[in-house]
Each structure stands twice: as C-alpha cells, then as structure tokens.
Chain A
Amino acid sequence: MRLAVLGVNHKTACLSLREQVALNTEASHRLVRTLVDCAQVSEAVALSTCNRTEIYLAGTELPLRTVAKDCLCSSTGVCRTDLDDSVYYYENIDAVEHVFSVAGSLDSMVLGEAQILAQLKEAYSVAQEAGTTGPMLNRLLRRSFEVGKRVRSETKISEASLSIASVSVDLARNVFGDLADRPVLVIGAGEMAELVVTHLKGHGVNRILVSNRTYERAVALAEKFGGEAVRFQEEQEESARGQKQIGSHPHNLALAQHLSLADIVISSTGSPDPIIGRSLLEGVMRRRKNRPIFLIDIAVPRDIDPEVNRVSNAYLYDIDDLQEVVASNLGEREREAIRAREIIAEEVGSFEEWARSLTVLPTLVAFREWASAIKDEELTKYLGRMPDLSEEDREKVQALAHSIINKILHPPTMAVKEKAAADEGHLYAEALRTLFQLNGAGRSQGGAAEKDRASSGFGSEDKTNSNSRS
C-alpha cells in the first residue's frame, strides 16, 4: 500500500489557476470516483478550498503522479501544461507529513487559521459517501484531524491577532479591559473603519456615534453601524466653512464635545490635514477629567497629529503602528509553529510505525500457511499408514501436530511483528522468506513476497517530489 499527494496551493499557483481547479462537492465526488476507477488507485480523497486543491491517494503502485494529474485535468478542464508548472507531488512519508501540516494549518496562508480542519473533514466525508476511502486514507485522515486538534490545543498558534481590526480590539482591551458600554466615535467612513466597528460590537460595544463632514452621510453611516449620527461641526461653523482648515481648527467645538464623550475613536476621513491636533486633545482631556481615550487613525494621510500620543492618558495608534503589531503577532505564531512541527513529526513517526506493521503481515500469513500445509501433508501421509487408529486417536494425533506447529511458529511470528516497527523491520520478513523459501513455493503465498517488497519501501526511499517543499 502506498500513499501519494498531488495538488496546487496559494504558494505554487496563481489565483486564476486555483479557480480553474477548484472543486465543488459534486465535482470532487466525481473526481474521487474517476480516480479509484484507475487500476493503480485504490483509495482517493479530494480537498478543495480557496487556497488549495489537493488529491490524496492510496494505490498499489507508485508513482501516481500521472494518473492523478490526468484525472484532475479531465475533470476540471484545466490545461495540463498550466498544471505542470504549479503542481506538487509527495509520496509516502512526505505525503503524510504534508497532510498533517495542512491539517495543522501550517501550510495555510494565515498560519493557525481554523477553517482548514473543517474543510478537510468535509472532503473526507464526501469521499466516504463516494465510497473511495479505505484502511489507508481512513487512518491518514482521522489521524490528521487529531493532529489539527493537538496543534491548536497544545500550541498558541491560533492566538495572536493578525488583522488590523482584531489588533485594534486587543489594544482597546489593553486600555479598558471590558469593552461593553464603552462609547465609540467613528469619524469618516471606510471599509476598515467598518471592520473595526464590527469587531468592537462583537465585544459588547453598543453606543456608536458617527460623525461625517456632511451630516446626511453621517446619518446614512449611522444606520449601517446601528449607531447615532452626530454633527461634525456646529451648524454655524458648518455653514461658515470656507475651507478645509476649519477641520483642524482647535476650536471645532462639536468634535471636542464628541471626543470628550467617546472612549474609543476611529478616524478615517479623506481630509488632507490632521483634524485632531495636540491642543484640541489636551482640552478634551481636561473635560474628560483625564479618563483614558484610545484613538485609532486608519486614514492616509493621517487624521490625528502623532503628537497626540504624548498627551497623558491618550493612546494613539496609526495604520503603521497597527501593522507593526500584526507583524509582531505573526512572529509569535511562527514561534508557535516550531512547536507545532514537533507535534507533526511525532505523529508522522507513529503513523509510519503503524504503516510498517502492515508490511510484514503477508509474510506472516504465508509462513503460517506453509507450516500448516506441511502439517496437513504429513498427517495425511502417516495417518494413511495407521488405519487401525480409532477416530478418537486420530483426533489426538492431529491435535498433537497442530500444537507442535503452533509452538514452533509462535516465537518467530512475535519477533517479526515486534521488529516490524523498527527501521530494519522489513529485513526480518525478508529473512523469514529466504530461510523458509516462501517465495513462490506452496499454494497461496505467491503474492506475499511481492506485496511485501512493494510496501516495505514505505517511508524509506524514492522521493520523487516535483517541487521542493515549501
């Protein structure tokens, strides 16, 4: 029994190719059926996510690269030469390691993301429905689910926040702790601001003030956020607004008013000049009686003068600062990935052990068949020479012969089973075949040697990877 993985992912293939080879449930059902119809393939599972399409195969003969590629091309209509440049292919132990890395989200675009495990389970159940899984892939995939769980529970790979929005929430929590009932002020609009607001709402924020240069726009946005619209400037200021400078004027009374109410401020206006300066905020802090305020400036060019961060109890993060935290958190996850790889190596080791214990079984079966053939032969011969024996005595003689055979077979059988997991395990099976001439002799052991040789290569040699591991 041999294992192979063939696929493309976000590292090897561009989006347009990944789109072409993407499989929906029906398509992957059809693909795995087509695959097991091929002579060399006995089991197949197909995984398709937005970042990867992969086929897991167990077969009688390696390599399975061509057959997998052919089936993938014919079922998705992708051009073979396109696929050739981007495809990776692993066998046996490398295949196991790859599947475990995928399950542990080490191969994902976002290290430690949670979705891949569910997607893998989905792919497995589709294949089970199609009836294309067998002992090898059942074991491989079930173990990979365990690996995924272990990696997430034993390491902190999914812990550190990796998006601007979730980092903003982390920081706000570092200042305020519980965010429920913290008033939030959103100045301007934008997708990023919206994301941050959504995250904040997930942490119990329920009072959202929305301010915009035009009040009508603020009303529209407030509806979207589920907040209340407030005026950016006093009405007379607004009507007197000659130029954009008024925004940065320290006496924007309405803005100062909102700032003294809100604990968290998200600013993303299109203003070319800062709208919140140091002196404005110092006035605000006096009105706030120095209660802390957390300001997120996601506008480019910036809305808030960086000097604001020097004001006591005011905490300002601009887009670069947030980006830096994301980078540091990514490093955090990468450090955890080192521990995750240790878990994977351990699991690959025990899978290999299991696979190896499979390899000696045909030899042991042949060994037993050989012995009982001799027993039967001799019993027929000698019982034929003793016609006077009663039925009872015949049975006793048969039992005696059976018992002797069993006692003799027991130690070598146990020894071979025990050694099977070790590196040189297959040598014991080979020795057994040589010593007892199990190759080809006798009735039913014909295929045993061949099967052994085919599977004893598991995990040891012939690495025919087309792509270096990434």
Chain B
Amino acid sequence: MQEIEQTLFGLVTFVYLVVVVLYVLGLAYRRADLERFGFLTLTAGFALHTVALIILWISTGWPPLADLHQSMVFLSWSIVLIYLIVDRVYRIPASALIMIPVAFFTVGMGQVLYEGDRALPEELDSGWLVVHVGVSLLAYAAFALAFATAFFYVVQEDLLKRRYRQVRQLVLTLAGALGLGTGLYVGYLIADPTLFEDAAGNRVYAYSGADVTVILVGAAIGLAAALAVGWIAARGASRPSFANRLPALNLLDNLSSKSVVAGLALLAVGILTGAIGAHQQWGAFWRWEPKETWALAAWLFYAGYVALREFANWRGRNTAVLAIAGLFIVFFAFLGVNLFLPGRHDFN
C-alpha cells in the first residue's frame, strides 16, 4: 500500500508543476486555451490527490494528519480544493498562478519529508488533537487564498494606478521573494543539519560550512528560477488588456478579507482544540512552545488586520500588503518552527 500512495503523491506533484507551467505560458502568450487545458489538468491532479489521500487514510487507519509529511499533503489538498471552489464561484483563473505553486510546493515538500508511513503517535491519539491539526491546516489554506488574492490586488492596482508600466518590478519582487524562500528551504532540507542537545539541555541545530554553502546555493537557484518565471509572466502582464482579465479590485479586496476572517476563525478553533488536547495529554493548556507561540503570533497578526479594516477603515492596498506579509508568518509557524526551533510539535 505504501508504495502506491507514494507513487501517486509523486505523480500529483508532477501534475501540479505542469499546471503551473501551463498557466504561466497561457498568461504570457494570452492563450485562453492553455488556461483551460491547465484547469482540466488541475482537476485531474486533484482527483488523483484525493484518491491518494483516501488510500493513505485506509492504509494507516487514521486521518492523514499524523506527521509532517501527511499534514503537508493534506494542506496542499485543501489549498487546491479552495482554489477550485473559488474559481468556480468567482472566475479567477489568474489566482491559480499563486495557489497552485503554493500547493505544488507543499505537496512536493511533503514528499521530501516522507520517512515511511507512520501510525498516529500515541500522544496524538486524541480526538481533540486530530481536530486541532486538521482545522489548523484549513486555516493555513485560507490564509494562502488571502495571500493569492492580495497579490493580484497589488498587481491589478499597479496596472491601474501606474498606467501599466511598473508591473514588471512588482512581479519580479514578489516572485523573487517566493523563490528565495523556497530555495533557502530546499537548501536547508538537503543540507539536513544535525540536531543535538547543548549543555543546558536545549535542542539546537548545528550548521557546518558545507551546510551553509548548500543552503546559499539553493537560495540562489530558487531566486534565479523565480525571476525567470516572473519575467515571462510580467511580459504578458504589462498591458491594459491584462488588467481586464484580472478580477476587479473590489472582488479581490473582498475575497482576501473574507479569507482572512475565515482563516482567523479556523485558527482560533485550531488553537483552542490544541490547548484542550494538550491539557488532556500533558496536563497543561499552554506551554509557550515555539509552535504555539508562532501560531498565536500569526493569529494576532491577522486579528490586527481585521481590526484595522473594521475600525481604522484600512482598505485595498494597505490590507493587501498585510495579507501578503501574513503568509510569511504562517509559513514560519507551519514549517520553520518545526525545522529550526524543535519542540513538542516535532511531528507536525
């Protein structure tokens, strides 16, 4: 069983990559047929993804949330699901350009982190904690959507305000940031620094010279690849006709803020169920673990977003920038903490 689902996840990763390429080409060369084909490919990939998750569930006998690998394939599944729903309802094919790379990246990293099917760790054997993990992941998927729509808000606004001229810089900046992050992360995974306990009993990572080199090379490659893709995309984007194909500012702004509210509610539930589960398992609601702290930080950040919008009339570009920045916090809360700041949440 293990091999089947792992092969399927590998295939899904590849299909999502193909989808990304199709959408980028469709955008750059203004070919609606490529986008349509991309959507069909995506639907097929999503069906495959669903099947693989079901097989995984059956073979382990537990919801696929047991370790980091499983969480990531579940998270990417949620992201694609949300994208498919949003695209059906609001017709925003362009948002695939952000959502699907995120999904691809997540499912791909899930593959890299795979260390064999794991049954649910004993300490996680609590209904509260399963809900905690699932709901938290859905919250992160909602924040990913808020990010994607905010990104296109900024692009659309630059097209309108700056008269179609300076979009290239913007696209390159954002693509560069994403590429750099991805490259650093992949470099880190390949370098695989060793974990040890220092004199005080804290677990810390040790980076060798070779590790640092690998990480920097990864960052450079990620940056270069993202800039190349961004260049092609920006070439097709610097025209009024592209603005007509993007969703309206109002729609993007609404969708982004609604996603944030949904994510905020889900994350609140996630944190609460986590606290209750922790109380049952370990006898303490809150222990200021890195993961807990960062999740709380992300929640507070998005709560600030909602407050500014509600009470200070922040709208449009300001809030879009917040939604973009927010995803980097989420990203760190979800992955960075596990990888750089070990704690009880080691498994996911």
Q: B-contacting residues of A (Cβ < 8 Å)?
A: 156, 159-160, 167, 170-171, 173-178, 286, 289-292, 309, 312-313, 315, 321, 324-325, 328-329, 332
Contacts and interface: CB of A to CB of B under 8 A. Distances in A.
B174 to A, nearest CB: 20
Contact of A329 (B159, B240, B246, B251): B240
A159 B248 CA distance: 18
Nearest to B318: A312
Contacts of B314: 290
B249 A329 contact: no
B240 A177 contact: no
A289 B241 CA distance: 30
Interface stretch (B78-86, B160-168, B215-223, B291-299): B160-168
B159, B240, B246, B249 pick with most chain A CB within 10 angstroms: B240
Contact of A176 (B240, B246, B248): B248
B156 A174 contact: yes
B248 A177 contact: yes
A309 B240 contact: no
A290 B241 CA distance: 26
Contacts of B160: 171, 174-175, 315
B163 A321 contact: yes
B38 to A, nearest CB: 19
11 contacts: A170-B240, A171-B243, A174-B243, A174-B248, A175-B249, A286-B313, A292-B250, A321-B163, A324-B163, A328-B164, A332-B239
Given A174-B246, A315-B161, A328 B315 contact: no
Given A170-B240, A177-B251, 11 more contacts: A156-B30, A167-B240, A173-B244, A174-B244, A175-B249, A177-B247, A178-B248, A290-B313, A292-B315, A312-B317, A312-B318
B316 interface: yes
Closest 5 CB pairs of A and B: A177-B248, A290-B315, A289-B313, A325-B240, A313-B316
Contacts of B317: 312-313
B241 A160 contact: yes
Interface string B300-318: 0000000000000111111
Contact of A328 (B239, B249, B318): B239
Contacts of A321: 163
A290 B320 CA distance: 14
A291 B313 CA distance: 9
Nearest to B240: A325
Interface in B241-261: 241, 243-244, 246-251
B229 to A, nearest CB: 23
Given A171-B160, A173-B248, A328 B241 contact: yes
A175 B248 CA distance: 5
B254 to A, nearest CB: 9
A286 B313 CA distance: 8
Contacts of A156: 30
Nearest to B247: A177
Contacts of A324: 163
Nearest to A336: B30
Nearest to B316: A313
Interface in B54-98: none
B94 to A, nearest CB: 13
B92 to A, nearest CB: 11
Nearest to B163: A321
Contact of A177 (B30, B239, B250): B250
